[in-house]
Amino acid sequence: MQIRDSGALIAGGASGLGEATARLFHAHGASVVIADLNEDKGQALTGELGERTQFVRADVTDPDSVQAAVDAATAQPGGLRISVCCAGIGWAERVAGKRGAHSLPPFETVIRVNLIGTFNVLRLAAAAMMVAEPLASGERGVCVNTASIAAFDGQIGQISYSASKGGIVGMTLPAARDLAAVGIRVCTIAPGTFDTPLLAALPQENRDELGRAIPFPPRLGRPSEFGALAAHIVENEMLNGEVIRLDGALRMPPR
């Protein structure tokens, strides 16, 4: 799948990993629809990138707003060929502790946003792609989801986040098999510790310490590196049904 002249939907595309991916795909010639809850950041980004970009305010847990974003991407020149979902949230709480059992509402919220939200983007984007004309290779589209190494190395207090990301990992192969007959590929990126707005709030000393824990390179991952891997997945037709760790060989300790 060529990025140039393709329509791309980036869910969670107003900041962090999604923003970097939107910037890179736009630079490579795609028409990009940025779907996000943060209207200020989304409008600012589309204003900066200019032509071939559009912002759609979307909540990934709301099928109607996701469908609106999918429709906008489908209407782009080239049609919807690429979907990348980077939307997600976190929550820190142990299964049980001095205050009692883990609160159920935040667990449900993390699952709803990270797992069900990703599924909403995947299912609705794939449904739009499958009615498009296939390319000469028979390919119709590529869907890239975002998990985390917490799906494999969940730390203390990460029960809800790890469960949600583990669900995304578990969806990858069956989704790829479901969609193989119509020429749609599905892959997942599981990033490690990246320099995103979430970590930007930490003191530089703490950020440096997190970076030093990574075997090589001993630094935080750059969002542009996530975007570069997403682009490679799109362009490499043999990548399908795969979960790729992007973590500098980091294996998270218990805490």
User: Which residues does the annotation mark as catalytic?
Assistant: 161
What Rg do the C-alpha atoms of the chain give, in angstroms? 18
Q: Which two tokens stand for residue 134?
A: 């296939």
Q: How far apart are alpha carbons 148 and 154 in whole angstroms? A: 9
CA 110 vs CA 9, 27, 47, 140, 165: distances in Å: 22, 32, 31, 31, 10
113: alpha, beta or left, given left = phi > 0 and alpha = psi -120 to 50?
alpha
CB count within 10 Å of CB 135 equals 15
Residue 14 and residue 113: Cα distance in Å, rounded? 16
Angle of CA points 65, 66, 70, to nearest 5°:
120
DSSP, res 76: S
